[in-house]
C-alpha cells in the first residue's frame, strides 16, 4: 500500500460531510463533526507517516524493514514536524533529516506564495485541534469546519515532503 492510499479514509469522510455540515443549524453538532474530521485527518497522517518509514526500511534491507515496522507500531500521535525530523528522520541519518527540512522549506515557500497559507501552521494546528477534541471533547472556538478541512489538505504537503525525502 502506498502512503497516499491512507488519505482516502479521511477524504471520503470529508466528501460526505461537505454535503451535511453546511446545512446544520445546531452549532454543537457542527463542532462535533469538525472534531471528528480532525481525528480522522490526524489518524491518516499517522498511518501515512508510518507507511513511508516502513516502506523505506523494507527497501533498504529485510531486517531494517522488520525493525522499522516494529518501531513505528507505537507512533500514536507523535507526528509533529519536530518529531518527524528529530525522532524519526534522524534515526536514518543526517542526510534524511536535512533532506526533509529542505523539501519542507521549499514546499512551504511555494505554498505560501501560491495560496497565502502556511502549511506548517496548518499541519500543527490540525494536530492541536485533534488533541483538544480527542482528549477534552472540544475543538477550539477559532477552528471552523472549513479551516479544519483546509488544514488537512494543506498538511498533506508535509507528508508529501517526507515521502520525497525518504528515498535512497
* CB-CB contact of 49 with 57 (8 Å): no
In which element (H, E) is residue 21 found? none
Q: What is the pLDDT of residue 137?
A: 78
At residue 148, φ and ψ (nearest 5 deg) are -65, -45
**12's grid cell:** 471520503
pTM: 0.94
pLDDT tier at 106, thresholds 50, 70, 90: very high
- pLDDT tens digits along 111-147: 999 999 999 999 999 999 999 898 887 776 778 999 9
Q: What confidence category does residue 76 fall into, taking pLDDT thresholds of 50, 70 and 90? A: confident
Residues 6+ apart with CB under 8 A from 97: 85, 86, 89, 90
Share of the chain above pLDDT 90, in %: 86
41-61 confidence digits (pLDDT tens): 999 999 999 999 999 999 999
Amino acid at each position: 500500500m502506498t502512503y497516499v492510499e491512507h488519505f482516502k479514509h479521511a477524504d471520503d469522510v470529508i466528501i460526505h460531510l461537505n454535503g451535511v455540515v453546511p446545512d446544520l443549524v445546531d452549532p454543537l453538532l457542527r463542532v462535533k463533526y469538525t472534531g471528528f474530521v480532525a481525528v480522522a485527518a490526524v489518524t491518516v497522517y499517522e498511518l501515512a507517516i508510518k507507511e513511508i518509514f516502513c516502506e523505506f526500511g523494507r527497501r533498504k534491507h529485510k531486517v531494517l524493514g522488520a525493525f522499522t515496522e516494529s518501531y513505528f507500531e507505537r507512533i500514536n500521535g507523535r507526528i509533529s514536524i519536530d518529531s518527524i525530523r528529530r525522532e524519526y528522520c534522524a534515526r536514518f541519518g543526517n542526510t534524511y533529516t536535512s533532506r526533509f527540512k529542505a523539501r519542507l522549506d521549499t514546499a512551504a515557500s511555494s505554498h505560501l506564495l501560491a495560496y497565502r497559507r502556511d502549511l506548517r501552521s496548518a499541519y500543527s494546528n490540525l494536530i492541536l485541534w485533534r488533541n483538544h477534541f480527542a482528549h477534552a471533547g472540544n475543538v477550539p472556538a477559532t477552528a471552523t469546519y472549513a479551516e479544519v478541512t483546509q488544514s488537512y489538505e494543506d498538511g498533506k504537503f508535509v507528508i508529501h515532503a517526507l515521502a520525497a525525502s525518504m528515498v535512497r
